[in-house]
Structure 1
Amino acid sequence: MNDTYRRQVALMIRVMPLVFKIKDFAVHGGTAINLFHRNLPRYSVDIDVTYIPLEDREEDRETSLKNINSHLLVLKTAIEKAVPGIRVKHKPDVWKLQCVKDGTIIKIEVNGTKRGILGDIEKLQLCEKAKDEFGLTCFANIVSWSQLFGGKIAAALSRQHPRDLFDCRGITSDDFNAVKDGFMLCLLGSDKPVIESLQPNPIDQRDALANQFEGMTDEPFNYEDYQNARVNLIEVVNNGFTDDDKDFLISFEDGNPDWSNTY
């Protein structure tokens, strides 16, 4: 596995206990899946965060964003105290911390648009393989599995990045049905029309596979595997909708969502 990625994971594990202390934050994305739910099938090198509280009114969005940045400043100070030699840059306009130590860079990024939790958060410990490989352990508050893996499916359809398709490889109809609510939450929060996510035009991701994925896993995953994973994911998702699901999506796209049946 690539040593650059390995050093990023090691730094991320050192930082995670400090993220865990901020109870308004829950981790989502590839790190939550591969280092906590699964037993390190691949490295993941960033910490993606959901802000848990929901304010009462839409005009309080700015309050939420202000609170997110306040938490990030607290986290920045805590990281700088806990990790000697680290430099942490706060980017308030994108709700992000960039952490640099000895040339190794990781990011901690809060989603400023999709806030709140579907279901309950889970407190999970670092997986056994990561504990053995890095000689460290930590806990993380993780968004619900429905929101976590449903969001991963939505991201895989939208971006078609090899990391996302690797995480969704081999998905079955039962897997999708178990997280459909979380998928719908993330699908409807996208800036793309629904049809573009459900029937995406294939993107050539050979360069991304070579430059942004290779070295993250010891498991075989070539470009043919990537393409097969994409075809399977699109098929599973599109076959997983009931008539009520389809009617709801049409009403949502028409700007008059009918919440009465299912959602």
Structure 2
Amino acid sequence: MYNYSKKDLERIASETGFIRDNLEKVFRLCDVLQYLNENPLLSEHLALKGGTAINLTVFNLPRLSVDIDLDFTKECSKDEMLVIRERINRDLTNFMFTKGYALSPNTKNPHSLDSWVFYFQNAGGNKDNIKIEINYSMRNHILPIEKRKINGNFLQIDFEVKTLALLELFGGKIKALIERTAPRDLYDIHNMLNQNIIKTTEQDMLRKIVLFYLSVGGSNKPSTTFNLDNLYRMKFPQIRSSLIPVLKKSERFDFETAKTEVKEYLSNLFVLTKNEKLYVENFNQGIYQSELLFEETDIIERIKEHPMAVWKMKGK
């Protein structure tokens, strides 16, 4: 459990090149993740996703991630989900309060998303916060949930966490990059390319996963064409404010090269098949046919009643 002093953190920050206060957040996040792993209710029903999952369990922590994004994973009715959700919230908040955190008024619990913000006083004596989000509408997943070991030798921890499958982690990351063009998303996808994380034989499945999440989870209607020029509108001030603080001080991220290489990769990835185009067109007409995206019967069975797909079809 987390018990690092200011002196400890300053030493580790000096050794790793990370900013001390952001480094402290990662230790605190790992403390929460360990609790999620040890609590039977939370371990059974939640899986880590997003940048924290990618940088802690896929990469060897090249950048710090300062929040926790989780999906509820039990395929169940809305009524059953709401009962379990109440129990999850009770256990999570009790743990955080026991650890000395205070609930922020910025906490929001709209519909099927719990967005918890907890205040704490960091080792430097300043007020800081941890954000934990749990999405309950994305509870039917394309691929089976995985258990992954946390990396980062300096963290000195040894436990596994449940995460979305590797392809779903990066499918969600690509979806996020398309929708919000954030520097951290660009950085993570560029690392994915540099480290050859996705095999050649997995590229088609990755594209289908991105299309699926753009349709069921996107803020706009899915499209059969992709304008990737938004990547070039990302300017250095964005990099300086949101990415550089979570990198090692010695790292020199060439974001112009990254934008070019990621855009080229995504342009090649998003060459849609006839059935993929038909899936998107039908979805926009209120017809949900996951079998146009996926041939695997187990995948089709898992997502045939996906809550967001069902909800969006009712709105057509």
Taking structure 2 as the reference length, the TM-score comes to 0.71
CA-CA distance at 1:177 after TM superposition: 2.6
Corresponding position of 1:123: 147
- Give the deviation of 1:73 after TM superposition: 2.1
User: Is 1:8 aligned to 2:53, yes or no?
Assistant: no
Retained in 1: the 8 A contact 2:52–2:68? yes
Contact map agreement 1:198 1:237 (CA 8 A) in 2: no
| 8 Å Cα contact 1:27/1:141 also seen in 2 | yes
Query: Partner of 1:243 in structure 2?
Result: 274
Alpha-carbon deviations, 1:15-56, whole Å to 9, x = none?
Answer: 111222311111110111110122112111111000112334
The CA deviation at 1:262 is 3.9
Q: Structure 2: which 5+ runs fail to align?
A: 1-17, 122-126, 295-316
For residues 199 and 254 of structure 1, the distance between their equivalents in structure 2, rounded to whole angstroms, comes to 22
Q: Cα RMSD (Å) of the superposition? A: 2.6
The percent identity for this pair of structures is 21
Q: What SS is found at the alignment partner of 1:54?
A: coil
Match of 1:75 among 76, 85, 92: 92
Deviation, structure 1 residue 196: 8.7
SS in 2 for 1:220: coil
The letter of the residue matching 2:132 is I
Give the deviation of 1:188 after TM superposition.
Answer: 1.1
Highest CA radius of gyration, 1 or 2?
Answer: 2
Superposition misfits of 4+ residues, deviation over 6 angstroms: none
- Spell out the pairing of 1:29-178 with structure 2 (5 A cutoff): 29-56=50-77, 60=78, 64-65=81-82, 67-81=84-98, 83=99, 85-89=100-104, 91-93=108-110, 94-102=113-121, 103-127=127-151, 130=152, 132-169=153-190, 171=193, 174=200, 176-178=203-205
Distance 2:148 2:128 in 1: 25
Note the C-alpha offset of 1:164: 0.7
Aligned equivalent of 1:198 = 226
Counterpart position of 1:221: 253
Q: When the two structures are aligned, how many residues end up with a matched partner?
A: 253
Task: Tell me the TM-score normalized by structure 1.
Answer: 0.84
Residue 118 of structure 2 aligns with an amino acid whose one-letter code is C
The 3 A distance-change label for structure 1 pair 158 and 48 is: same
Contact 2:208 2:276 in 1 (8 A): no
What is aligned with 2:241? 211
How far did residue 11 of structure 1 move? Answer: 0.9
